[in-house]
Structure 1
Amino acid sequence: MKLRHLPLRLGAGAYILNSGLDKLSASDDAASGYHGMAAGAFPVFKDVDPKTFTTVLAGTEVALGASLLVPVLPRTVVAAGFTAFSAGLVGLYLRTPSLHRGPGDYRPNADGIGVAKDVIMLGAAASYLLDALGSKAKKSAKKASKKASKALHH
């Protein structure tokens, strides 16, 4: 793990892990709230039981948070998961008009501030993913160059 990634991984990992752990013990009312918001933005979730939805969401958050905190999985996989998760949250925000100031104005109202801040998380996640992909490409290019150089000298 690169030292420059440590603040991002610790901050985002702890935040996401905590969110997931809180949802594991969500009441039926809280589960209905999470489900209702998600189903309103993404109709594919309408027929999923609210408690089941919340349990799966919690598990996803726990797994993502832990993978950011404990560098076991490949960085590119973690960065891709982090980016996809963050993009889903931004999608939820964009598809929920009650969080915006008004028709055609996507700036957050008072209710939307808590979700709109996920744009920052998406930016951080995408930066992390681009860095991971760039490092991987650089390693591959270096390896190919070494191999080509070795072949030329034989």
Structure 2
Amino acid sequence: MKLSNAILRGIPGAFILNSGVGKLGMDEGTAEHLQNMAKVAVPALGNMSPKEFGRFLSYGETAVGAALLLPFVPTRIAGLALTTFGAGMVASYLKLPGMTQEDGIRPTDDGIALAKDSWLLAIGAALALRGSK
């Protein structure tokens, strides 16, 4: 694996893996709060119970983080996983009320944390396009 791929995979991978592991066994109230935010961007997520959503989110983040960190996972696959994750975060940012200024793009103070996830989308797309090169 090229050093540039390792850097692009390692930093987001460690961050996302840590986030996913931290969400394992989250309480139902936290899961419901996160689900309410997520279903604005992906309405189908509202069809799960909060407990199911909590497991889905924690396992999904853990899997994406692990895919990025494990060198035997092809770069293109890891990049596609990160792109999907990042796209969901950016969709939430763009659709949640109060996250963007009146222009619908620039973040408000409340939206900065989600707007930063656009970097994950960009890194994922670069990895997916770069493949194993």
Residue 32 of structure 1 is matched in structure 2 by 32
Identical aligned residues as a percent: 38
**Aligned residues, how many?**
133
Residue 112 of structure 1 is matched in structure 2 by 111
2:47 counterpart SS class: coil
- CA deviations on 1:34-81 (whole Å, 9 max, x unpaired) are 100011222212221112112111101101101111112222211111
The whole-number CA distance in structure 1 between the counterparts of 2:107 and 2:56 is 27
5+ residue gaps, structure 1, are 136-154
2:52 counterpart SS class: helix
1:92 counterpart SS class: helix
The whole-number CA distance in structure 1 between the counterparts of 2:112 and 2:25 is 24
Rg (Cα) greater in structure? 1
TM-score w.r.t. the length of structure 2 is 0.91
Task: Tell me whether 12-21 or 79-88 shows the greater mean CA deviation.
Answer: 79-88
The whole-number CA distance in structure 1 between the counterparts of 2:122 and 2:15 is 16
TM-score w.r.t. the length of structure 1 is 0.80
Between Structure 1 and Structure 2, which shows a larger proportion of helix residues? 1
5+ residue gaps, structure 2, are none
How far is the alpha carbon of 1:25 from its aligned partner?
2.8
Between Structure 1 and Structure 2, which shows a larger proportion of strand residues? 1
Q: Answer whether contact 2:41 2:88 (CA < 8 A) is retained.
A: no
CA RMSD between the two structures = 1.5
**Matching of residues 60-99 of structure 1 within 5 Å:** 60-99=60-99
Give the structure, 1 or 2, with the largest relative contact order (CA under 8 Å, sep 6 or more).
Answer: 2
The whole-number CA distance in structure 1 between the counterparts of 2:104 and 2:63 is 34
1:22 partnered with 2:17: no
